[in-house]
Structure 1
Amino acid sequence: MTAPQPRSTPSFDAAPLTDPVDPKAVSAFAAELKSRGASETSLSSVIAIVIMVLIAAITVPVLVMTVVSMFTSGETGIATIGLLLFGGAAFVGGVIGVVGWRRARETRYRLNRFALANGMSYEGRVASPSLPGMIFSLGSSRLSTDLVRGTRPRFVEFGNYQYTVRSGKNSTTYRWGYVAVKLDVPLPNIVLDAKGNNGFGSNLPASFQKEQRLSLEGDFDQYFTLYCPEGYERDALYLFSPDIMARFIDNAAELDVEIVDDWVFLYTQRKVSTLDPATWAWLFGAVGALITKFDQWARWRDDRLLLESPAASAASPVAPQEASDRLPFAPPAGLLLPPPGVAQQGRRLKRSVQWIPILFVIGIAAFWIWSRSL
């Protein structure tokens, strides 16, 4: 599915993504990443490439001699044909490995230049990133790669992420692209499940109890399913005012969204940090459209904290009515009295069991048992 484009293309320098590069500069940058332990190429990958190259170096001369012998003797056999196939596969594998390795080094070099050209920074890899989003606590071998970070007007991180889920002898690696935006204050855990990127059911790696589903006004429900903690419906309506809902519909309808602690995450099951200028234009446009509205979220306060810490009310001299008079919109009563934070019941959504994968496994097991009984 083609990603929707923002209404206006943001101004940024995409030339480093496509301009010719100096191989020597690429090698120098790869050495710099390696020296600080930020190279993405793992030891196992390097060993695999070296082995494939050695096999190709050994088998190519043997193949040449074998082909010459075949034509001079006029005889062929199964062993000869097998050797030819094995040697050909080894040679092709070696070439693919070397090309992939060189392309990965060039990609990292280009992304670093792209980040610098646009006032940002680049990091090759971060193992087990300490981010609170739903995808960052799953599986093992957690790894963020090709991180492009900006700090103005607020911290934003674009990255690719993967984790591995093991089940017995089998394992599956899941890959995501994400954008992480830092907020000014913690907010309730809210999830927007984008309907435009779903297949057979939600594509999110977690499911949530249906009692937490909240319907918003207008046509917002046609694009997103919103989940918020029970009792925080009024707060969600305050955070997702009509103008903010319009921004999400226009710019992020193909992205799943999670608000957790003082972060907003945009998720997609495609690479975010890429050499495709159109992808960066889309993402920069989406973030730029949303980030201008996040400032008003900094005014939100959780009244429930007054019950957890009654002394907090004495810390602020601002009365609820006075606060309402100053703001261009009317916040919930007592909005500015509690300190920044979220009460315990609003910090995380309640999860539910994902029945579709369970039913699928049960169906496979039932079919296997039935086939064995025939």
Structure 2
Amino acid sequence: MTAPQPPITFDARPLTDPVDSAAVRAFTSELRARQSTSASTSTIIGIVAASVAGIVVLPIIVTVFLSLASASGSPGIAVIPLVLIGLVLVAVVLMIWLGVRNAQATRYRLSRFAQANGMSYEARIADPPLPGMIFSLGRSRQSTDLIRGTRPRFVEFGNYQYTVQSGKNSTTYRWGYVAVKLDVPLPNIVLDANGNNSFGSNLPASFEKEQRLSLEGDFDRYFTLYCPAGYERDALYLFTPDIMARFIDNAAQLDVEIVDDWLFLYTQRKVSTLDPATWAWLFGAVGALLTKFDQWARWRDERLLAENADAVATASVPAPAMNAQLPFAPPVGLLTPPPGVAPQGRRLKRSTRWLPIVFLIGFALFWFWSRLN
């Protein structure tokens, strides 16, 4: 294990300090001015549904109660349910108003928190252009409450959601993530944290078992590591014992993905929150890992060296001398591979999740058997 890291210091007061209502309103107005004025599809649907309820449903209910009162000869009978309906509507409107107020105050606090710690705040981004495994699934993809820092490297904390349609039903999945920009592209490597799994992996993708790599020490107790076939030696170069210890000590409850020149930390809880303890945990994890990323910048894919050497030789040597010995020394730039990853290392190979399919087949067979008997 590594030596204990010094505690991460940050100003958490804006997360819990009382807020001024006028300041919240001013911030909300400024936020609306910065964002697009076009309403989203879900907003339009909600407005249409509320309008239909107000224009059609409520008059029908009132008419029914008045008819019952007229038939019974006692107008007082209709008054009680109408009053109850009015109270319910008032309660619903009050709850919506309080929810909006709380959401506005939360955004204001997060913005102040980002400002106090030298970071920036963004309320919402639709379809964020990130290469991680969760960012290409479903529809209605959006990141919310993003907090970004640029020193010593770019880091983004955000909440993310997407919706998956299955027949007439739809399910919305929610994640929290931390995105860290790396110096160079690296092979696609996934660390599936064992501590946050229940019945199998909680990741939205599964990978071919042949890509699993066992590392030394206790690392396999905490993570299942996947790397592209043929990149086992490269993964061992990247995950040296000191780096493995950092992940175990600081990120054992987080799933990790390295893809292109990004590192992602995933969790199925909110990352951008008003809880100071959550920020202390995340800042500590990211801070502990950042100190080790400089050595990753030195990694190069040797496969690109061979590809570039072949390309230069093909372009530089006249056709009759293709098979002759090169009459010149290779350029100095070719002695070290350029930054990048060969095509076979850029993405892990996915596999099919058979458990849901087996369950559905078993349910169908059981239903068919029960119908026959």
TM (norm. structure 1) is: 0.82
Equivalent position amino acid for 1:234 in 2:
R
* Deviation by residue 1:187-214 (Cα, 9 ceiling, x = unmatched): 0000000000001000000000000000
1:32 aligns with 2:2: no
Equivalent position amino acid for 1:306 in 2:
L
For the residue of structure 2 that corresponds to 1:115, the secondary structure is helix
Pairwise CA distance, 1:50: 7.3
Change (3 A) 1:372 1:305: same
* Deviation by residue 1:291-325 (Cα, 9 ceiling, x = unmatched): 10000000000001122221679454696xxxxxx
Q: Work out the CA distance in 2 between the residues paired with 1:11 and 1:261.
A: 30
The alignment yields a C-alpha RMSD, in angstroms, of: 3.1
Segment drifting more, 36-45 vs 299-308: 36-45
Q: Work out the CA distance in 2 between the residues paired with 1:92 and 1:7.
A: 50
Change (3 A) 1:9 1:45: farther
Segment drifting more, 8-17 vs 360-369: 360-369
Pairwise CA distance, 1:36: 1.4
Which residue, 6, 13, 18 being the options, matches 1:20? 18
For the residue of structure 2 that corresponds to 1:238, the secondary structure is helix
Percentage of pairs with the same residue: 70
For the residue of structure 1 that corresponds to 2:233, the secondary structure is helix
Matches within 5 A, 1:159-308: 159-308=158-307
Q: Work out the CA distance in 1 between the residues paired with 2:33 and 2:50.
A: 20
Segment drifting more, 122-131 vs 361-370: 361-370
TM (norm. structure 2) is: 0.82
Equivalent position amino acid for 1:37 in 2:
Q
For the residue of structure 2 that corresponds to 1:309, the secondary structure is helix
Matches within 5 A, 1:79-94: 86-94=85-93
Structure 2: gaps spanning 5 or more residues: 313-328
In structure 2, the residue matched to 1:329 is none
In structure 1, the residue matched to 2:344 is 345
Q: Work out the CA distance in 1 between the residues paired with 2:99 and 2:45.
A: 11
In structure 1, the residue matched to 2:47 is 47
Q: Work out the CA distance in 2 between the residues paired with 1:83 and 1:315.
A: 87
Change (3 A) 1:372 1:24: farther
Instruction: Report if the CA contact (8 A) 1:52-1:97 is conserved.
Output: no
Q: Work out the CA distance in 1 between the residues paired with 2:213 and 2:207.
A: 12
Segment drifting more, 83-92 vs 37-46: 37-46
Equivalent position amino acid for 1:301 in 2:
R
Q: Work out the CA distance in 2 between the residues paired with 1:23 and 1:231.
A: 58
Equivalent position amino acid for 2:145 in 1:
D
Equivalent position amino acid for 2:7 in 1:
T
Pairwise CA distance, 1:363: 3.6
Q: Work out the CA distance in 2 between the residues paired with 1:222 and 1:349.
A: 22
Q: Work out the CA distance in 2 between the residues paired with 1:268 and 1:257.
A: 9
For the residue of structure 2 that corresponds to 1:131, the secondary structure is coil
Change (3 A) 1:372 1:44: farther
Equivalent position amino acid for 2:106 in 1:
T
Q: Work out the CA distance in 2 between the residues paired with 1:33 and 1:53.
A: 30
Instruction: Report if the CA contact (8 A) 1:15-1:114 is conserved.
Output: yes
In structure 2, the residue matched to 1:326 is none
Q: Work out the CA distance in 1 between the residues paired with 2:36 and 2:268.
A: 24
Matches within 5 A, 1:23-172: 23-37=21-35, 43-44=43-44, 47=47, 86-172=85-171
Instruction: Report if the CA contact (8 A) 1:180-1:263 is conserved.
Output: yes
* Deviation by residue 1:27-82 (Cα, 9 ceiling, x = unmatched): 11111111111699973487389769979xx99xx9xxx9xx9xxx99986x7776
Instruction: Report if the CA contact (8 A) 1:49-1:98 is conserved.
Output: no
**Number of residue pairs the alignment of both structures matches:** 340
